[in-house]
Amino acid sequence: KAGVTQTPRYLIKTRGQQVTLSCSPISGHRSVSWYQQTPGQGLQFLFEYFSETQRNKGNFPGRFSGRQFSNSRSEMNVSTLELGDSALYLCASSQPSAPNEQFFGPGTRLTVL
Amino acid sequence: DQQVKQNSPSLSVQEGRISILNCDYTNSMFDYFLWYKKYPAEGPTFLISISSIKDKNEDGRFTVFLNKSAKHLSLHIVPSQPGDSAVYFCAASRPAAGNKLTFGGGTRVLVKP
């Protein structure tokens, strides 16, 4: 079974731009969660989607948004990028029978200049 | 407010010996706990989990202990191998509240041959 895939793996943007990151979960997994990892704040939960609905949201500003498609693929969008948005963005998926055992993708490394 | 803490940022251990990683939490509503291992430039890999109804769970070389009254969990790796050198994160969740994982800051483990 293929793992969680994320595209692109690396991205460089400038302040004020917007960015869209993509995540394809493991086949059969319907829940997709997004996390941000930075050296200062560690791994922080952004949001979770299940059956195309946002089920949970972390403490991030409204510039961070996401969506999930009918095939469970998910995208997250960050608008008006700030320098502090530079981070590793991780996507994780889980299956209904084991919802808390989340499997992570390799992440997208976003650098904001 | 850090609800999950790993107070040891690093740990060095000799190959073949036991590695003990510790994690403390403050939110008594957490009832499911997980350990992840992370190599550089990769996403976290699920290792082992434990529900709050148990105090021990074992999987091969990995054992997780949970002390609910102390709000403390630990991961034992026996015997430690050089390939275990990585950053280890503990995470906690409230399954009733969805799939949000709250992570500790991580412990970097170095296993010396």
**Per-residue pLDDT reduced to its tens digit, A61-73:** 999 999 999 999 9
Res. B74: pLDDT tops 90: yes
Q: Where are the alpha helices (DSSP H) in A7-104?
A: none
Strand positions, DSSP E, A1-113 = 5-7, 10-13, 19-24, 31-38, 42-50, 53-57, 64-68, 74-78, 87-94, 103-104, 108-112
Q: Does A94 touch chain B (CB under 8 A)?
A: yes
Q: Does A43 touch chain B (CB under 8 A)?
A: yes
Greater model confidence, B2 or B23: B23
- d(Cα A70, Cα A30) in Å, to the nearest integer? 9
Res. B96: pLDDT tops 80: no
* Chain B residue with Cα closest to A105: B43
Q: According to the model, what pLDDT value does residue A40 have? A: 82
- d(Cα B35, Cα B44) in Å, to the nearest integer? 9
pLDDT (tens digit per residue) in B22-67: 999 999 999 999 999 999 888 999 999 999 999 999 999 999 999 9
Low-confidence residues of chain A: pLDDT under 50: none
Cβ–Cβ gap A43/B44 under 8 Å: yes
Cis peptide before A8 (omega within 30 of 0): yes
Cβ–Cβ gap A104/B44 under 8 Å: yes
Q: Could you identify the residue written with the tokens 């769970």? A: B57
Contacts of A56 in chain B (CB under 8 A): 97-100
Looking at residues B74-79, what average pLDDT do you find? 98
State the DSSP code for A25.
P
Q: According to the model, what pLDDT value does residue B99 have? A: 79
pLDDT > 70 fraction of chain B, expressed in percent and rounded: 99
Q: According to the model, what pLDDT value does residue B41 have? A: 80
Tell me the three state secondary structure of residue B67. strand
Q: According to the model, what pLDDT value does residue B1 have? A: 64
Q: Does A92 touch chain B (CB under 8 A)?
A: yes
Q: According to the model, what pLDDT value does residue A46 have? A: 96
Distance of CA B27 to the CA centre of its chain: 16
Q: A53 and A32 in contact (C-beta within 8 Å)?
A: no
* Chain B residue with Cα closest to A100: B99
Res. B82: pLDDT tops 90: yes
Q: Tokens standing for B47?
A: 């290792």
Q: Exposed, middle or buried by CB within 10 Å (0-12, 13-18, 19+), for A74?
A: buried
* Chain B residue with Cα closest to A39: B105
Q: Tokens standing for B65?
A: 């202990």
Q: According to the model, what pLDDT value does residue A1 have? A: 66
